[in-house]
Amino acid sequence: MSARRLIVSGDDFGAAAEVNAAVARTHRDGILTSASLMVRGDAVDEAVAVAAAHPALAVGLHLVLAQGRPATPPAAIPKLIGRRGRFGDSPVLSGLRYAWAWLGRAGRAQIAREVEAQLEAFAATGLPLAHVDGHLNMHLHPMVLPVLLGLAPRYGIRVMRLTREDLRAALRHDPRHGLRKRAEALVFRALAAFALPRLTAAGIRTADRIYGLHQTGHVDEAYLLGLIATLPAGTSEVYCHPAERQPAALAAWQPGYDHEGEVAALLSARVRSALRAADVELIPTRGL
């Protein structure tokens, strides 16, 4: 086993045909090892078929609690959704909504009901559950994580993404948007500090470190080459958002994302050569 192992994950699987095609292509012909499924995505049935046709691809649940549709009937979870029967678009406002909901017994029950409904929907696909993470990392919300941990034995949750990233390294690669990246670092440092002891106590495994948070939508070839050159020993995960072109279903929330550049990076011969030269072993999330 190599001293350096890398999980390469694609988020938003099932959101759109453009995402599904990119996941299939970059797994088959590139370095993508894992994908995270939106069970209420517009193209979820196609994504399940893609996953079934590529059994080496590790597929997990991409828990959606913002910018999407619930798996529970909207009337049953009024404290979690807006007037359109959907979750809110803002992750910050959604997070505050869940914190407020958690103060009441009904709100806590509705959060638990929706999380379990999405786990049930994943189980209904027949795919093995390789991991759990969250759209906009909402799985780490202090009102959501305990629910997931309580359900972990029943649904076989053994791996989760513990999102936190070295801010200094991210700024060295790309100093733009420094204020946003610093704010992200503060938030996720606190969330990771809350989550790590609880995940450890539950026996749920995580990668040693995560990459891609501060470079969301721009995990391109230059980023991957820089990452590989400095990758420390242990198991790391880099997550990205590949798509053949920007999906209409995600365009409102992902302006400026370089989906095609991420696909090109995952298919890059230079990236593959750099992985070989650095003796980095590619593994799926279930390899943890």
CATH number of the domain where residue 274 is located: 3.20.20.370
- Count CA atoms closer than 13 A to 8's CA, side-chain side: 26
- pLDDT band of residue 74 (cuts 50, 70, 90) is very high
Residue 95: per-residue pLDDT: 86
Nearest partner of 284 among 235, 242, 221, judged by Cα: 235
pTM, full prediction = 0.96
- Count CA atoms closer than 13 A to 139's CA, side-chain side: 28
- Domain containing 76 equals 4-287
Rg of the chain on CA atoms, in Å: 18
Q: Tell me the pairing of strands 234-240 and 209-211.
A: parallel
Is the separation of the CB atoms in 264 and 221 below 8 Å? yes
Question: What's the rounded Cα separation, in Å, for the pair 260 and 180?
Answer: 23
pLDDT reading at 103 higher than 80: no
Please give the tally of structural domains in the chain: 1
Residue 25: per-residue pLDDT: 98
**Beta partners for residue 281, in sequence order:** 5
Instruction: Look up residue 250 and give its two tokens.
Output: 């995600």
Nearest partner of 37 among 53, 54, 23, judged by Cα: 23
Question: What's the rounded Cα separation, in Å, for the pair 70 and 83?
Answer: 13
Q: Give Cα separations from 189 to 153, 165, 232, 239 (angstroms).
A: 27, 8, 20, 18
Residue 106: per-residue pLDDT: 86
- pLDDT band of residue 2 (cuts 50, 70, 90) is confident
